[in-house]
């Protein structure tokens, strides 16, 4: 509640369950990747910039970013906490732990490292922290990534974290379970009637959960925990697959034939083939090169399909109501 000075020390007691840290964070942009931990540790408070946003998000940037957040145990008991960085596609995260002004340890994380090297096996980045009575801990965090530079951070009581995380896993399990049932059902229908509309729909709803699982770190955790190169490329590959088969499905489902809707048909086919080229390109070029063109195409495709669906609904197409 209220505005918090980013240089303020986060006071910890036994009663806290969860603290959102974004408002407590100060940062420095390092465009030349020249700053070391020794450099940033010597900087004065006035040289750090306060984060004034609700969430720490710098967008796509070639720079490295140093973050700083400080904690103090103001209770009369030992406290265990978990730091969660809730954006699983960050490439490199260097965390330097300073306890009562003395360097303690260095933790290296990121999705460019094999999944099993993480201290806690989770799709998000988790750091266990322990505080003795009156102990002050300063965290210096360096982030370098080709993905969007964002680092939503929370400090959790371990018991509460595992309870909430269990609910998240159950919810995601339900979603992916429903997606799997839909894939199998429509695949059976396609095999029974040989109607290509169902095959395009099967491909579309197969690529969508694969894209979401890659984006939120579940694929890296369960499907390819050592494939660090593919983990980045898979996000671009699967998102383009969603656009390709979403367009092909829409053409058939909305009866957008060349004889009746020539230009819409050509437009959506053009999107589909452009998406196909980007799928191939995602295997040849870096994530950094491909992610922004993919995002632009995704925005164009989603907006286009929305308006085309409305247009067909106005024309009286019954399928468009379901679409």
Contact criterion met (CB below 8 Å) for 151 and 87: yes
Q: What is the pTM of this model?
A: 0.86
* Whole-number Å distance between alpha carbons of 98 and 131: 12
How do residues 125-142 score in pLDDT, each as one tens digit? 999 999 999 999 999 999
Mean pLDDT computed over 167-196: 93
If we measure between CA atoms, which residue out of 80, 130, 87 comes closest to residue 109? 87
Give the tens place of pLDDT for each residue, 37-80.
999 999 888 889 988 887 888 988 999 999 999 999 998 899 99
End-to-end CA distance of the chain: 43
- Is 53 in a helix, a strand, or coil? coil
Higher per-residue pLDDT: 181 or 288: 181
Got the DSSP string for 215-240? Answer: HTTHHHHHT-TT-HHHHHHHHHHHHH
């Amino acid at each position: 509640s209220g505005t918090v000075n980013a240089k303020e020390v986060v006071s910890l007691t036994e009663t806290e369950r969860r603290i959102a840290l974004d408002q407590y964070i100060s940062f420095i942009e390092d465009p030349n990747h020249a700053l070391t931990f020794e450099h940033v540790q010597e900087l004065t408070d006035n040289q750090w910039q306060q984060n004034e946003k609700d969430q720490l998000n710098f967008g796509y940037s070639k720079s490295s970013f140093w973050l700083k957040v400080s904690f103090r145990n103001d209770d009369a008991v030992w406290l265990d906490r978990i730091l969660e960085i809730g954006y699983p596609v960050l490439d490199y995260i260097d965390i330097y732990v300073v306890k009562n002004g003395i360097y303690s340890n260095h933790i290296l994380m990121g999705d460019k490292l094999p999944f099993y090297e993480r201290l806690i096996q989770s799709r998000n980045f988790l750091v266990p922290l322990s505080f003795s009575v009156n102990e002050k801990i300063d965290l210096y965090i360096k982030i370098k990534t080709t993905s969007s530079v964002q680092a939503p951070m929370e400090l959790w009581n371990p018991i509460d974290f595992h309870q909430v995380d269990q609910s998240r896993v159950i919810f995601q399990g339900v979603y992916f379970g429903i997606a799997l049932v839909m894939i199998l059902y429509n695949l059976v229908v396609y095999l029974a009637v040989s109607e290509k509309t169902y095959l395009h729909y099967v491909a579309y709803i197969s690529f969508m959960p694969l894209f979401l699982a890659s984006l939120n770190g579940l694929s890296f955790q369960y499907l390819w925990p050592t494939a660090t190169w593919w983990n980045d490329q898979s996000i671009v590959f699967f998102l383009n697959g969603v656009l390709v088969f979403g367009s092909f499905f829409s053409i058939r489902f909305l009866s957008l034939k060349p004889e009746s809707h020539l230009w819409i048909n050509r437009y959506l086919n053009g999107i589909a083939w452009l998406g196909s080229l980007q799928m191939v390109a995602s295997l040849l070029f870096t994530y950094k090169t491909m992610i922004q063109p993919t995002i632009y195409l995704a925005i164009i495709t989603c907006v286009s399909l929305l308006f085309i669906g409305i247009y067909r609904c106005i024309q009286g197409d019954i399928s468009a109501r379901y679409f």
